[in-house]
Amino acid sequence: MKKFNYTLGAKPSPKDVRDYPLSKSNRIVKEVMAEEYLPFAQMTIKNQGQVGKCVAAANAAIREDREFRQSGIITSFAEDFIYANRQPTDWQDSGMYPREAKNALLKTGVVPSDYFSFPNKEYAALKPLLDAMLATLAPLALPHRISAYYRTNTNYEREVAATNLGSQTLTLPIYESFFDTGADGIVPEPKGELVGYHEIAYFGWRKDVRWACQNSWGYWWGNRGRFYYHKDYPIIESWADEDDILPEKEGEILTQEQFNAMLQNYFEMLDAKPPSEWSATERGAVEAAGLIVGDSNGRKRYKAHVTREELAIILYRMMNK
């Protein structure tokens, strides 16, 4: 559903008595006693554009955070893969049921974004692309499967899940007032028309009794893509999942120096990555126009982040054409 220039896409999962409760997990070892829990969360700020893939985006983001915590490796996972990977009995149109996304992650997993990324394509266009590539991509997705998922029903269970298992997902009812969220990320009290339902990732909570959440509407929304949703506000459904990777060592803390070193390695890895085939036409056009000429070594670095200085140079070239 599109309104206020933002797209939603979560479809509330019907109740099912077969859903596992969180008590079935054998990895719940910590009780929740902290009034605030704000771990570092390594999740790409997704931008679903005008596609109803918020469920897929939230689940891709929490996979990134989980695997970073466990391995120290920064990986961007493909929300398009999750969005397109549906069984014949699943919903076959725009939007997605959260339970169906969890089931796909349990059976198949997810691939890194480099292997399946098609921005702004809706499900009907993505599905045949994935069907043609699934035999090749499935072995790459299997290492990133979840091993179980659970339906959480109370705020305490959501806290327990985040503390013991890592970042998880919430499905929120979106009222008109949600779009009044400012740069501080504080979501106002739900008021106005119910616009639809939206899936988001959450990774902790603050002392002011608000969930610390991440959206999929880009960096420019809320507090650089993140927001804070009061625990008394309504939640339609929530899920927790876990995987077979060994949990973090008790007491092991990532230092700022270690994080800086990993981030530097990540930027260098992006510099060395070749561009994706789907952008070949556009790349050829901007290079022919002299808008992108490369660095001193002739490298175009299409996968690297763009600084404001680099953007200013490109805009200057455009203005003087």
Kindly report, residue by residue over 168-226, the tens digit of the pLDDT: 999 999 999 999 999 999 999 999 999 999 999 999 999 999 999 999 999 999 999 99
Share of residues in the chain with pLDDT > 90 (%) = 65
> How is 63-122 classified by DSSP, letter by letter?
HHHHHHHHH-----B-HHHHHH---TTS--SSSB-HHHHHHHHHHT---BGGGS--TT--
**Contact criterion met (CB below 8 Å) for 55 and 98:** yes
Domain 2-242 has CATH 3.90.70.10: yes
User: What does the domain layout of the chain look like in residue ranges?
Assistant: 2-242, 256-319
The reported pTM is: 0.77
Give which of 152, 156, 167 is closest to 25, Cα–Cα.
152
Q: What is the C-alpha separation between 124 and 80, in angstroms, rounded?
A: 12
Q: Is the pLDDT of residue 268 over 70?
A: yes
Among 23-37, 140-154, 160-174, 300-314, the range scoring the smallest mean pLDDT is 300-314
Q: What is the C-alpha separation between 321 and 167, in angstroms, rounded?
A: 47
